Amino acid sequence: MTTTVLPIQDYALLTDEECDKRIAIAKKLLGKKCIILGHHYQRDSVFKHADISGDSLKLSREAAESDAEYIVFCGVHFMAEVADILSRPEQKAILPDMAAGCSMADMANKVNVQRCWDELGQVIEVEKQVTPITYINSAADLKAFCGQHEGIVCTSSNAGKILDWSFAKREKVLFFPDQHLGRTSAYQMGIPLNKMVVWDFNKPQGGLTVEEIKKAKIILWKGFCSVHQVFEPVHIDDFLKRYPETKVIAHPEACFEVCQKADYIGSTETILKIVREAEENTRWLVATELNLVNRLNDEGKSQGKNVHFMSPILSMCSTMFRTDPQHLTWVLENLINGRVVNQIKVNAEESKLAKKALDNMLSIV
């Protein structure tokens, strides 16, 4: 066994078919020492090699409970960070391509969130009045920020419960980085839109007046998922004119107006569950990432189900797409040769505080 790193450049010209063969051999050699996680939005050529598929939190929790020493996360950076935070000390989280980030997560960074917190503190008693909530689609240092300030993490499936918990502690919520998940979740629990404001991190005091801050029940960060912003209400209207029997389902990262027109709103796992359990010969219009929708359509064909991507503009998670069979092969063959590449390691203090915020969530869901 050698500790020499095999350079990624040696893999760039491999075909997907060549990678398939080498990945199969690597998985057999590594056995239970390695577990490959595949997020639902991952491209099929990588997704098919996953030992476990799911959303980011489910994958991290299952990997932490496994016997694997190596957790290879075919997803994006924040997902591998969560895997590292929740896993045991002897486990190592690995991201096949370090360029696989999340544009939404990048819209909220520690500097801007801390400045927001400080500026809110000039208007209200922020430590006594505001509970910070970060969507799991965020960097580890923002999860740590929430842990430091008695806040919490949420997912797209539990945001409503997390808001209940937060409002039981304090009268206001600062919700980042996705304004759309926060808005739809708050509205579903009865908070009117006029009690919600958007904090624009590019403007002094978030672009808000003192009165707007004091009146607000929930302060939404001006962040969004670009993939889910391609969906528009007119897409639903136009599709229903042709196929009025269609059921519409939207991920809560889609805009408020799209979610209001949907028959169902739910996370990736919820979307999969509802469509899979639906009656045969039904038609669905889905507002979420393209790879997941296409995969769900292929699954449903045998039952006469038609599952359509909502937007006429094809859109996939471009950063998720960076993880390809070549990078996965590179990572696995380096592991065979005794070398861990692209390990994701959250520093001890951040990990401790971030885990506190994650544990707050896990204790109530």
pLDDT in tens, 308-364: 999 988 777 777 788 999 999 999 999 999 999 999 999 999 999 999 999 999 999
Q: Are residues 237 and 338 in the same domain?
A: no
Map tokens 């910070």 to a residue. Answer: 132
Main-chain dihedrals φ then ψ at residue 179, nearest 5 degrees: -65, -35
Q: Are residues 286 and 299 in the same domain?
A: yes
First to last CA, the chain: 44
Q: How many domains does the chain have?
A: 3
Q: What is the structure's pLDDT at 4?
A: 66
For residue 361, tell me if it sits in a domain.
Answer: no
Torsional sign, CA 124, 127, 133, 138: positive
Q: Are residues 88 and 15 in the same domain?
A: yes
Q: Are residues 165 and 67 in the same domain?
A: no
For residue 336, tell me if it sits in a domain.
Answer: yes
Please tell me whether residue 218 adopts helix, strand or coil conformation.
Answer: strand
For residue 1, tell me if it sits in a domain.
Answer: no
Q: Are 95 and 355 in contact (CB under 8 A)?
A: no
Q: What is the structure's pLDDT at 6?
A: 84
Final residue before a domain boundary, out of 175, 202, 225 = 225
Residue stretches of the chain with pLDDT short of 70: 1-4
Q: Are residues 190 and 231 in the same domain?
A: no
Other beta carbons less than 10 A from residue 237's beta carbon: 10
For residue 354, tell me if it sits in a domain.
Answer: no
Q: What is the structure's pLDDT at 321?
A: 80
Q: What is the structure's pLDDT at 1?
A: 45
Q: Are residues 118 and 96 in the same domain?
A: no
Q: Are residues 47 and 143 in the same domain?
A: no
Q: How far apart are CA 59 and CA 39, in angstroms?
A: 8
CATH number at residue 168: 3.40.50.10800
Largest CA distance in the chain: 66
Q: Are 173 and 133 in contact (CB under 8 A)?
A: yes
Q: What is the structure's pLDDT at 317?
A: 77
Owning domain of residue 297: 227-309
Going from the C-alpha of 157 to that of each of 132, 230, 253, the distances in angstroms are 18, 21, 11
The amino acid occupying position 94 is: I
CA dihedral 153, 251, 87, 81 (to 10 degrees): -80
